[in-house]
């Protein structure tokens, strides 16, 4: 019984390590999932459109490579980096059901406040790599 307990404890520590340090295994992409068909859209560079995940996003993961000035994501309400945005730090994973209150909470550089304080879920249209925002 003691051996089982020790093995279970070790397994739990391993699982906790994997989920608390996602940037340790960064693969360089920002991923968004489409709630309509479950499709995963991966972006390794800036995305003026989220393609089939535009306005259908229900999950995201910033799995970008650590770098100075380029590992955060600005997730925009509008296409071509317009409207309000939300800053997503490296390693962050979020979903509509676990974090329903996430909003576009910053005024964008281009066309300002369109979408400000609206939910990001099923409303995101573009994404750009940036430094800390």
Burial class (CB in 10 A: 0-12, 13-18, 19+), 34: buried
Burial class (CB in 10 A: 0-12, 13-18, 19+), 24: exposed
Gap between the Cα atoms of 47 and 114, Å rounded: 19
Residue 12 has pLDDT above 70, yes or no: no
User: How much is the pTM?
Assistant: 0.80
Closest CA to 126 of 55, 50, 51, 57: 50
The residues pairing with 43 across neighbouring beta strands, listed in sequence order, are 30
Provide the 8-state DSSP code for 106. Answer: B
Give the mean pLDDT of 21-38: 82
pLDDT value, residue 10: 37
pLDDT value, residue 109: 84
Class of domain 23-130 as given by CATH: mainly beta
Pairing of strands 126-130, 72-78: antiparallel
pLDDT tens-digit profile of 106-123?
Answer: 998 877 799 999 999 999
Q: pLDDT above 70 covers what percent of the chain?
A: 82
At 58, which helix (H) or strand (E)? strand 57-63
């Amino acid at each position: 019984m003691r051996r089982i307990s020790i093995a279970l404890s070790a397994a739990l520590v391993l699982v906790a390590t994997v989920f608390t340090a996602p940037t340790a295994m960064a693969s360089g992409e920002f991923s968004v999932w489409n709630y309509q068909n479950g499709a995963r859209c991966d972006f390794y560079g800036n995305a003026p459109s989220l393609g089939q995940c535009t306005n259908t996003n229900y999950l995201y993961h910033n799995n970008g490579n650590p770098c100075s000035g380029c590992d955060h994501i600005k997730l925009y309400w509008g296409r071509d980096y317009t409207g309000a945005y939300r800053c997503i730090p490296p390693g962050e994973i979020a979903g509509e059901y676990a974090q329903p209150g996430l909003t576009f909470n910053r005024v964008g550089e281009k066309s300002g406040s369109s979408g400000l304080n609206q939910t990001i879920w099923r409303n995101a249209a573009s994404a750009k790599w940036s430094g800390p925002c």
